[in-house]
Chain A
Amino acid sequence: MKPIEQPVPARFYRSPGQVMRLTRMGCSHPTRLSFLRQLLRRLKKENWSFDRPVWQINHEGVGHAVYWAQGPERCYSLVAFAHNLPEEMRSDRVIATAWDATFTLFDGTPSTADIERLERNVPLQEAGRISAKELSLSRANRSVRLFEYVVKELAQGRQPERGRLEQTGYLMRTTAVYGTGKFGAADRGNLVGRPEMQAPFQAEMLSVWLTRAFTVDLVEHLAAEQGGMQAVKLDPALRRLLGVGNSTGLGMAPFLVRHPALIHHWFAAREEALARVRSQPKLTSETIDQFFEAFRAAQENVVQWHSEHPLQVAKLKELREGLRKLQIFVHEGWDVAQVYPWDALWQWGELELPMEAQEALLALLLEPHWELVDDLGDQMATDEEVTFKVDGCQSIGELRKHLHSHFAWALGMDYQQPEQCARFWYVSEEKLEPRLGERYCEPGAELEQPLDIGRQVAELCDVLKKWSDRTPVAHLLLVRPEFRSIVRRVQLSAHYPFAEIQENLISAEMLPIDLLRSKLAFFGATRFDPRSDRWVRISLFQGEPYPDELNNTDVS
């Protein structure tokens, strides 16, 4: 199979109107283009090496450690601080002030002075300051039910039960991973010219991956402290079952709205990948074997994926049923010798599978086609500065045309109806956390954040009724400057069709967890487990190799 050279015919693409709907985004699955997969492929391909040069953790599990990742040109160090957190202070909320462990990813190798500086600031998280020498700031809490159990078992010379590891899936979960520019950290501008940092969220992913190694090292250390000679290390096969948990709330949702050009690149790359696979006129024995291997992994994953939230319970039921139907079809109904066999499978899936399983099928189709799709990872970043502009010469008529072509989804709603503007996004005074309020029963709507894109578009459309088609947009913005940002988005949509989530984000029906799942799937998150309609837990790197295994593991 060779990389694609000709443009893919339009019939193999899904439209933005089909893709950018919350119901579908809320069924997203990680793919081989997900950011953590991109990271591991690069580390493996470039033969990065890893070490733990510092381990100063005492018998109570308090102290610090440094994990070192050396690439072909630069090295990065995870500096981890382990704390003794009283039980009553353990909270996953962003408003917490203490954690079991805190971390930063350092650019290079930290000196003793750097460690001292970081020790004064990193444990404080938002209340401290880091510098342009740091690329991330994060913290994690122990999974109490699993962490103590694993320590106890290892201390007594036993391996923990596989089922218990699978059930929780992680020893610690991060409750915030701050990246670019936060609290003084390096900006993307500092990282220009570093290929390893060009794909989105690579510093954050590297930080979490090294954090995963730290969590295992910490339980083995505590087991050795408690069990002495009797203690054993965690079996590598069991260790693989563990990822890093993540507990996240609404904080990451506004990102998807505030970065339209970037989001376009994420979705456009994924859709291009799907189209490339669908447009393959025939398949090979290698790709079909790898497809079935990926299918088996997906079937195993869904068995281990649990949630008690009613919405996710229903989705998991759909996914299990869908995968069962797919299993039958690929063995009994799919003609692999036909022209465009992958497209035939996809089209069958669109007709026969629930949406949850359709999106799982998308991930499965990409999996064996690494030669065809992996280069698209390079297209998932963009310089947003370039798109921060308005074309003042554009005529109102042209603007109106774009508005009706790309925002029809927003224009059919009556935003005066209470159910269409039931919510408002705001930033809480308490720790600056994004939240979603009920407009008619909570205070603060006058301080609404501008995430109501649909409503803003409708207002612009209304205002334009009084303007002639030939007038340049510059004249409109001279007298109505408040419309500049929405005019920019409308103009952007002509070139970036996947830039907008095509939903009313202030409606009573909107489910914030759909936004979260979509973004987390691009990260590479698995085991999506909502705790409410705006609060979820997930796992990162579960099943993936550890630093000491990377060179002997196929991550392609």
Chain B
Amino acid sequence: MSPENQQVSEDFCTSSHLWFSQSELQQLVVKAARGAGYSWSDAEEIGWAAAWLSKFGLPGGDFMLSLMQSNDLQAPRPAALRWKGNSHPHCPLRCGLALMDFAQLPEGLGASCLVIESMTGLPCFLAFAARTARQIQHPLQIQWEEQSLFVHEDAWPSVEIDQVSMEFGKTVDVRITRSNSDMVSIETKNPQYCVRVSKQFLEQLEAFAHQTLVPATDLSRLRAGSHDDPTS
């Protein structure tokens, strides 16, 4: 039995938290994001990012909940070398998706590096940076303040992800560089597929997700098959 499973068997449901599967968390966050007002397209990406972060030991659901509760975040205006900040912080979702889409265009990573100014929600962005690395099949180095980590071309982060400090609400300038490191030299963190979710955050996610549900009517119950004869 793997250590991960051992842990689950002893402690899979307590008064303060539940163990979710990664896909279960992803689906819940997709619904919550949609319920919070994002388009289905964005909600899918937010759910994916939550799952990615959780897979590598970070509280993905909590971070995405913070994103859903953030206001006045701006989309970037991609330009070569530097995406300049404006009156409001850059949105990590919009920046992350734009990084993936523009990665191989002049406004993206170009030959060397890109600086995104004044971005909040760094953990969310990190998930998309990892996917960018996989998309361009090249490791990336992500730097902010005095901290740094790598994302591998398999979209796995380096082990520094356990040590760096990432506050969702902090606004930072982020430098993304095509790494010259030999990919073998980047020690990556192994994924986990069980996700510990605190009941407190779960309730908030479920409250958002509930906004996507349609109350049943007698007609909808009937059409769904409630007239089927159960005794046959």
Contact = CB atoms under 8 A, between A and B. Distances in A.
- Verify that A and B bind, or say they do not: yes
Interface in A106-157: 107-108, 113-114, 117, 129, 131-133, 141, 143-145
Contacts of B227: 531-532
Contacts of A388: 48
A435 interface: yes
Given A392-B104, A437-B220, A184 B78 contact: no
Interface string A512-531: 00000000000000000001
Interface size class of B (residues with CB under 8 A): 35 or more
Contacts of A117: 9, 12
A332 interface: no
Contact of B223 (A131, A141, A435, A450): A435
A141 B230 CA distance: 9
Nearest to B42: A481
Interface stretch (A90-98, A268-276, A290-298, A500-508): A90-98
A435 to B, nearest CB: 5
Interface string A23-57: 00000000000000000000000000000000000
A429 B224 CA distance: 13
B8 interface: yes
Interface in A150-197: 180-190
B214 A473 contact: no
Contacts, number: 180
B21 A447 contact: no
Nearest to B101: A392
Interface in B179-232: 191, 193-194, 210-217, 219-221, 223-228, 230-232
Given A393-B104, A484-B41, A535 B224 contact: yes
A482 B214 contact: no
A352 to B, nearest CB: 36
Contacts of B100: 389-390, 392
Nearest to A90: B230
Given A182-B24, A389-B100, A189 B191 contact: yes
A184 B23 contact: no
B188 to A, nearest CB: 15
Contacts of B42: 481-482, 484
Interface string B60-93: 0000000000000001001000000000000000
Closest 5 CB pairs of A and B: A392-B101, A535-B225, A444-B214, A181-B23, A474-B101
Interface of B: 1, 4-5, 8-9, 12-13, 18-24, 39-42, 44-45, 48, 55, 75, 78, 94, 97-98, 100-105, 107-108, 131, 135, 191, 193-194, 210-217, 219-221, 223-228, 230-232
23 contacts: A107-B5, A131-B12, A131-B194, A181-B21, A184-B18, A188-B23, A190-B193, A250-B224, A390-B100, A392-B104, A393-B105, A426-B214, A427-B213, A428-B216, A429-B213, A429-B214, A430-B216, A435-B214, A436-B223, A447-B212, A481-B94, A482-B40, A532-B225
